[in-house]
A = this chain, B = another copy of it.
Amino acid sequence: MARAHWGCCPWLVLICACAWGHPKPVDLGGQDVRNCSTNPPYLPVTVVNTTMSLTALRQQMQTQNLSAYIIPETDAHMNEYIGQHDERRAWITGFTGSAGTAVVTMKKAAVWTDSRYWTQAERQMDCNWELHKEVGTTPIVTWLLTEIPAGGRVGFDPFLLSIDTWESYDLALQGSNRQLVSITTNLVDLVWGSERPPVPSQPIYALQEAFTGSTWQEKVSGIRSQMQKHQKAPTAVLLSALEETAWLFNLRASDIPYNPFFYSYTLLTDSSIRLFANKSRFSSETLSYLNSSCTGPMCVQIEDYSQVRDSIQAYALGDVRIWIGTSYTMYGIYEVIPKEKLVTDTYSPVMMTKAVKNSKEQALLKASHVRDAVAVIRYLVWLEKNVPKGTVDEFSGAELVDKFRGEEQFSSGPSFETISASGLNAALAHYSPTKEMNRKLSSDEMYLLDSGGQYWDGTTDVTRTVHWGTPSAFQKEAYTRVLIGNIDLSRLIFPAATSGRMVEAFARRALWDAGLNYGHGTGHGIGNFLCVHEWPVGFQSNNIAMAKGMFTSIEPGYYKDGEFGIRLEDVALVVEAKTKYPGSYLTFEVVSFVPYDRNLIDVSLLSPEHLQYLNRYYQTIREKVGPELQRRQLLEEFEWLQQHTEPLAARAPDTASWASVLVVSTLAILGWSA
């Protein structure tokens, strides 16, 4: 799990930075937030003054004859993590949360965001901005209809609206006598001017063959073969997501945080390969690796990134059909292709192909998880010794686990911002500590660590929750119910091609049973040195059906506001299941190898099947990670691993239902069967 699902909101847990003097801040749970209802308004120091930039933006709007301008929180590739030069909404509003849309009219300015960010927005925005505590296009359009006159023009950057988002605005505005106007020059960028951070320019490099599942030539041939087999015979595939181009050519860079990608598009036609990027960033070796000096069907022509729209438009003049995945294509590309020349699927053939890992990719991803487990275990061992000393805080802890990962072979940094959360902070979805604001780890509190690494061979993501003291009965119950959810889904046997959505409730049942639940998804795909949240694999309604060779996280949780948070996340490979009667069935093989915290498991809640599963998993951890720890002379960690993977034995049941098992079973033993 990471930021884009929930975003990161450390401000929610700040100890009140008291405000001296008047006017008083609004009392919002001890937070120092703006108060626009006093005169003058109260503005905390964290607020950004946006008056000048708003005036400049409205001037730009006037030159385009716009009544309103939409500023979404995204970039041209729908990246989960976006570069600083794409943080337009944050720059114009002052509000830096990772989700939320701004709209500016000639008189008003407003931000729509979800509950994670309400306090943050009130701390960062000045009184030029209304805060709307809603999400989706409907409330925005409702507001627009009251704020702008009939005949009004609503401008937007077509590279910042996905096809779906554009359609929902278009549909909502239909018949309203307000018009959506696509403007390819971003108006915020014009105002931002020279202050706007530059686009990255580090080298784009090719992965070593040892870390790739297939050569780029094999991948190109595979996609072309899918084009040929496609009923509508597309002549080209257009790739808009950065991970698509990175995967296709086995190229990597570091243009955006946490994901090893570079700004690019690819137009793969039946007779050419056109890669749109900044050519100056390719070394001569990489250009040669790409066969970029020739012009045949297996030569990669590098064209300038900024030319993509014009080039697609020109290509679309021919007798062509361009295959796109609508989920990752922006309206700015879509609008230049005549509808009858579009072949659309939700996900491009590259996204679909990438989702199923071949045997080499599976082996690579598994290997990275073994080393990743070593780093996390080193950290857990270190915590066990140091937390009681009272010297560890969330931030220094996060730094240490990142450091341990960095010492692993093939490491290329964290795969997302480490969530290191103690006590009540762990109940905040995707909380991350800062150097300035963090909480001390303590033997009296639970601690949640959700972290992952990028390695040349794979991307990892694992969450463990621990308690070094005496957890409460409720904490143990909640932890055990989360664990049961993880186990129930991990050991589920289900027919091939079942969608994740159909089975994710198995991860929730044990919680539901007691009236508990969690508010986030149950898992997501993961890549080979690619995205930590790799679509379209996962358990949500827009994920594709499960197939052998896919990897997904399994991560139920439970969060008690103001008290604690629990999440147990593993990455699992989808494998064939052996069933009593023959059939095409799948199950999961967990490839995360970090023991759960025995201190938090209430064994009496576990069924014999759960115990059997858990002990088999412990055995696997010993077999996979033990030798690696020994090889590395990490003997203390090896000892810790042995202790924490001792087989669990059933304890006397303490619930009514298990009591009845006893009675029934004992009667059966005594021959009292019916």
Interfacial residues, chain A to chain B (CB-CB below 8 A): 138, 142, 174-176, 231, 338-341, 492-495, 498, 501-506, 509, 512-517, 541, 579-583, 585, 603, 607-609, 611-612, 648-653, 657-658, 660-662, 664-669, 673-674
Would you give the shortest CB distance from A523 to chain B, in whole angstroms?
14
A216 to B106, CA, bound (A): 49
Q: Is the CB of A492 within 8 A of B509?
A: yes
A583 to B560, CA, bound (A): 13
Q: Is the CB of A513 within 8 A of B579?
A: yes
Q: Is the CB of A505 within 8 A of B494?
A: yes
**Chain B residues, Cβ within 8 Å of A339:** 174-175
Would you give the shortest CB distance from A347 to chain B, in whole angstroms?
18
**Chain B residues, Cβ within 8 Å of A608:** 657-658, 660-661, 664
Of B175, B502, B541, B612, which is within 8 A of A340 by CB? B175
A541 to B46, CA, bound (A): 46
CB pairs A–B below 8 angstroms (11 shown): A138-B231, A174-B339, A174-B340, A175-B341, A512-B579, A608-B657, A608-B658, A611-B664, A649-B664, A653-B668, A662-B668
Would you give the shortest CB distance from A434 to chain B, in whole angstroms?
33
Of B341, B512, B515, B581, which is within 8 A of A582 by CB? B515
Q: Is the CB of B660 within 8 A of A585?
A: no
A248 to B138, CA, bound (A): 30
Copy number in the complex reads: 2
Question: Residue of B at shortest CB range from A646?
Answer: B674
Q: Is the CB of A514 within 8 A of B673?
A: no
| A583-B515 in contact given A505-B503, A505-B506, A609-B657 (Cβ < 8 Å) | yes
**Chain B residues, Cβ within 8 Å of A504:** 502
**Chain B residues, Cβ within 8 Å of A662:** 665, 668-669
| A493-B513 in contact given A608-B664, A668-B653, A669-B662 (Cβ < 8 Å) | yes
| A585-B664 in contact given A339-B174, A502-B502, A648-B674 (Cβ < 8 Å) | no
A498 to B501, CA, bound (A): 12
**Chain B residues, Cβ within 8 Å of A338:** 175
**Chain B residues, Cβ within 8 Å of A666:** 665-666, 669
| A585-B138 in contact given A608-B660, A669-B666 (Cβ < 8 Å) | no
**Chain B residues, Cβ within 8 Å of A585:** 512, 515
**Chain B residues, Cβ within 8 Å of A492:** 509, 512
Q: Is the CB of A515 within 8 A of B665?
A: no
A580 to B338, CA, bound (A): 58
| A494-B506 in contact given A231-B138, A650-B673, A653-B668 (Cβ < 8 Å) | no
| A515-B674 in contact given A502-B505, A609-B657, A665-B653 (Cβ < 8 Å) | no
Question: Residue of B at shortest CB range from A177?
Answer: B340
**Chain B residues, Cβ within 8 Å of A514:** 579-581
A608 to B656, CA, bound (A): 10
**Chain B residues, Cβ within 8 Å of A669:** 652, 662, 666
Interface centre among A495, A583, A607, A664 (most CB of B within 10 A): A664
Would you give the shortest CB distance from A231 to chain B, in whole angstroms?
6
**Chain B residues, Cβ within 8 Å of A498:** 505
Q: Is the CB of B612 within 8 A of A660?
A: yes
Question: Residue of B at shortest CB range from A581?
Answer: B515
**Chain B residues, Cβ within 8 Å of A505:** 494, 498, 502-503, 505-506
